[in-house]
Chain A
Amino acid sequence: MIEILLRVIIGGIVVSAFAAIADTLKPKSFAGLLGAAPSVALATVVLTVKEHGAMYASVEARSMILGAAAFFLYASVASRLMIRKKWPALPVSSLALLLWLGAAIGLWFGFHKLMS
């Protein structure tokens, strides 16, 4: 329970800090870089290494590469829908999370099938 609480506090602080930095930057395409900041990873990896060791964190980071590829797809599709189709940000960015999840799990299965 304490560990989850610690993750909530550290994760909340790191995510809020990156979001606040992004607020201050212009142009918005540059500020957008911080939308893909490694906030969750920064908050998590330190706790993971302390709890499970460096090898465990290394395996997590390898999977994170696939998560980042899914993020690229997520952000590209969201950008296109908002600019070309003129859809509003809230439904696009929320619904596209399903796309991110599907792409991340699909890539993970694809990668494991390729390796085996």
Chain B
Amino acid sequence: MRIQINIAALKRSKWQEYLARFIFGGAVTAVAGIIAKRYGPEIGGLFLATPAIFPAAATLLEKHEEKKRRAESGRELRAHELAGVDAAGAAMGSVGLAAFAVVVWCLSPHYPLALVMVAATLAWFAVAVAMWLARKIVWRNLRARFRKRSHQPGVVRKLSGRKPSHP
């Protein structure tokens, strides 16, 4: 599936949902700052990688998909499965998050802050997209290999534990 941008999707969220994200995001950022102040930068740094967006995003995605599902029957994926796919993407994104941290760790003492933040954000995006593409390619190859193997009768018997129904 090709990457698409659908601006109209912004209208699906209500203002209360935007407000909830704002409050949750703001609260997590403030808590990260308070923890760093109380326990020092080593513990505080852990909280810079808090899943701040994911819980709200997954819940809202599930809610919107349930609504759509009720409207049009026979959708391919159930709403929570789609939220699970979103989580798999977040796992790929977390590798990019580590790349962001490495860039800030190595460059921030030596270069201007603005340059470091731009470089770190680009590193996050590049690594996250590379991980997403790599996962997509690996899955496609695995699926193709499995499909090819499952056409051999012996493999079907071995996988299912019984004789294939067709000769």
Contacts and interface: CB of A to CB of B under 8 A. Distances in A.
- B13, B23, B36, B89: most-surrounded residue (chain A CB, <10 A): B89
Contacts of A47: 33
Main secondary structure of the interface of B (DSSP, over half): helix
Chain B contact patch, size range: 35 or more
Interface in A35-59: 35-49, 52, 54-59
Contacts, number: 349
Contacts of B33: 3-4, 7, 44, 47-48
Interface stretch (B103-111, B145-153, B155-163): B103-111
Main secondary structure of the interface of A (DSSP, over half): helix
Nearest to A111: B42
Nearest to B50: A40
Given A15-B53, A87-B80, A8 B105 contact: no
A44 B30 CA distance: 9
B12 interface: yes
A54 B52 contact: no
B32 A38 contact: no
Given A16-B21, A42-B117, A46-B113, 8 more contacts: A16-B18, A40-B49, A40-B50, A41-B104, A59-B42, A64-B49, A79-B91, A83-B84
